[in-house]
Chains A and B, each alone.
Chain A
Amino acid sequence: MRRVKKYFTASTWRGFLSLMVFVALWQLVIFLKVPYLERLPYPADVATEGAKAVQSSGYWYNWKVSMIRIFTGFAVAQIIGIPLGLAIGLSRVFRGFTFPIFEMLRPIPPIAWIPLAILFWPTRELSIYFLVFLGSFFIIVINVIQGVGNIPVSLKWAATSLGARRKDIFWRILVPGSLPSIVVGMTVGMGVTWEVLIAAEMIAGKGGLGRATWEAYTNSAFPSIIVGMLSIGLAGYLCSALIRKISDMFMPWKRKF
């Protein structure tokens, strides 16, 4: 117990130290007027700007707007994508009909959909939901297909031998067996979703962390840009942590012990 604790403090110290070094380097770069980097704002200015931001309601409003967009698009992608992936993974016939179209659209980067999305959907908000949806949709589907395919045939055979019918195989073997891949798909999808959201907000959004960062740019407010970037990073991190948390809940057999 004591060793674990000691190790923990050591790694915390290392993390803290590396952060200090990073900030010191940042300061140094500006101080020494390194070409191109000299226009960076001082860490202290960013910190002041950040402190100001967290006290304003506008800042938190942007958080809320971005989060709602992320979770709406992401959730719809999972609700449609997971059953679709299972169906493609299970049925050869269904795969034959749907997979070619799917594979044709999948390589198109979600950001390339922005012009069409803006023209197609009646409101900007809907087009952002749609783009966020695309960002995680293809990834979840492909991962579910793979997850179903990776379940060893011996497990299906064993279940059949033990008297399982088709619905037992589906609910007790295929669904839990592909859960790890579903989680991978969600984790990767969440990352891509944030990229897409920020791009979409910068181009088409009203409010949101991406938009706020873009507006800071148009105002040449250097410290605010960096506050925006850090906020986006933190938001993405929190979303991934949430997915990890949920996946631990649904996959007790994967827990560390």
Chain B
Amino acid sequence: MAGNRGDSAMGSDRFGEVRIENVTKTYKKKDSSSTVLQDCTFRIERGRLTALMGPSGCGKTVLINLIAGYEIPTTGQIFLNDVPVTKPDPERLVVFQESALFSWMTVYSNVIFGCRVQGMPRKEMKDRAEHILRTVGLYEFRDKYPSQLSGGMQRRAELARALINDPKIMILDEPFRGLDALTRQLMQEFYVELFEDGGRTNFFVTHEIDEAIFLADRLVIMTFQPGKIKAEIEVDLPRPRKFGMLASHRFMEIREYAIELLYEEAAKAFAAGSKSAYDLVGAIVAQKGMSQKCE
């Protein structure tokens, strides 16, 4: 599986490589301005899964909006395969934090939305949709409406809606947030397999440190207000990933290192009064306590 990935991804333009260069994003209010991102420079490497972590309010979502082309940077530039990003495009698709399925369309209509508005022939559209629906295990549910699906199924439908367009990069903004623990774990397993089979460039934003390390080839850690790139960590765990690896020595090492880095930022966010930072600090403190006990 890992071999396949390399062959299809390397040196081809099928999947994208994103370069973020000196990107700063400032929002002007009436008489003040706030800098959300400052001089961010990093790469989302071709055919790899890059996870972005950082406390709430560090501008993760803004960064996604910039890569997707919904907003433009105040200064600096973003490139996909050396072409500057200026507007939204089916090459760069986002799976949103809260479901962005169209509630008035069936699963099938949601999935073919992109193909339909781009004018794909009906036959090809149908074949592709059936294939992708089977891949994500929603073929039996194609005539249901999103509100009739469980949270995990909605997420898979959203993945299918993006994947059918064969994007050069998939951007996921905390896609498993709000799912219950078991569903979340199943979705992580499903998603990592999907990634390992497809070998597409993926950019995954998350709060959860275990999730990030389990899924990613590389971690990018951001600072709190203004958002800068604090560190990049290679995750050299073997693929295919299995949940058993969460107990491995290497996993623990990476996690501890990441926690150290994150803790500083989370503490800063906490001091600044961010509610979700409070939760993150709580979680990290608990994890720190545990790992110290182990030693």
Q: Which residues of A contact B (CB under 8 A)?
A: 152, 154-155, 157-165, 168, 172-173, 176-177, 179, 251-253, 257
Contacts and interface: CB of A to CB of B under 8 A. Distances in A.
Contact of B96 (A154, A162, A163, A165): A154
Contact of B90 (A154, A157, A163): A163
Nearest to A162: B114
Interface string B52-90: 000000000000000011100000000000000000111
A253 B149 CA distance: 12
Interface string B176-214: 000000000000000000000000000000000000000
B100 A160 contact: no
A162 B161 contact: yes
A158 B103 CA distance: 13
A161 B102 contact: no
Contacts of A160: 70, 88
Given A163-B114, A253-B147, 19 more contacts: A152-B98, A154-B96, A154-B100, A155-B102, A160-B70, A161-B69, A161-B90, A162-B113, A163-B90, A163-B117, A164-B113, A164-B117, A176-B104, A176-B105, A177-B102, A177-B104, A179-B104, A251-B104, A253-B145
Contact of A162 (B70, B103, B117, B147): B117
B35 interface: no
Contacts of A157: 68, 70, 88, 94, 100
B28 to A, nearest CB: 19
B266 interface: no
Which 6 pairs of residues, A with B, have the shortest CB-CB distance?
A: A162-B114, A253-B145, A176-B104, A158-B100, A161-B88, A163-B118
Interface in B98-153: 98, 100, 102-105, 113-114, 117-118, 145-148
Interface string B200-244: 000000000000000000000000000000000000000000000
Nearest to A157: B70
A165 B117 contact: yes
Given A159-B113, A161-B92, A163-B118, A152 B100 contact: yes
A135 B89 CA distance: 45
B63 to A, nearest CB: 15
Interface residues of B, number: 26
A94 B161 CA distance: 34
Interface centre among A157, A176, A177, A252 (most CB of B within 10 A): A157
B24 interface: no
Q: A-side binding surface: helix, strand, loop or mixed?
A: helix
Contacts of B90: 161-163
B165 interface: yes
Given A160-B88, A163-B118, A154 B98 contact: yes
Contacts of B18: none
Nearest to A164: B117
Contacts of B117: 159, 162-165, 168, 172
B98 A162 contact: no
Contacts of A152: 98, 100
B92 to A, nearest CB: 7
A169 to B, nearest CB: 9
Contact of B165 (A162, A176, A252): A162
B93 interface: yes
Contact of B145 (A154, A161, A164, A252): A252
A168 to B, nearest CB: 5
A179 B102 CA distance: 13
Contacts of A168: 117
Contact of B100 (A155, A164, A251): A155
Contacts of A154: 96, 98, 100
A163 B116 CA distance: 9
Contacts of B146: 253
Contacts of A177: 102, 104
Nearest to A255: B145
A176 B90 CA distance: 23
5 contacts: A161-B69, A161-B89, A162-B114, A253-B146, A253-B147
Contacts of B161: 162
Contacts of B98: 152, 154
A165 to B, nearest CB: 7
A201 B113 CA distance: 50
A251 B104 CA distance: 7
Contacts of A163: 89-90, 114, 117-118, 165
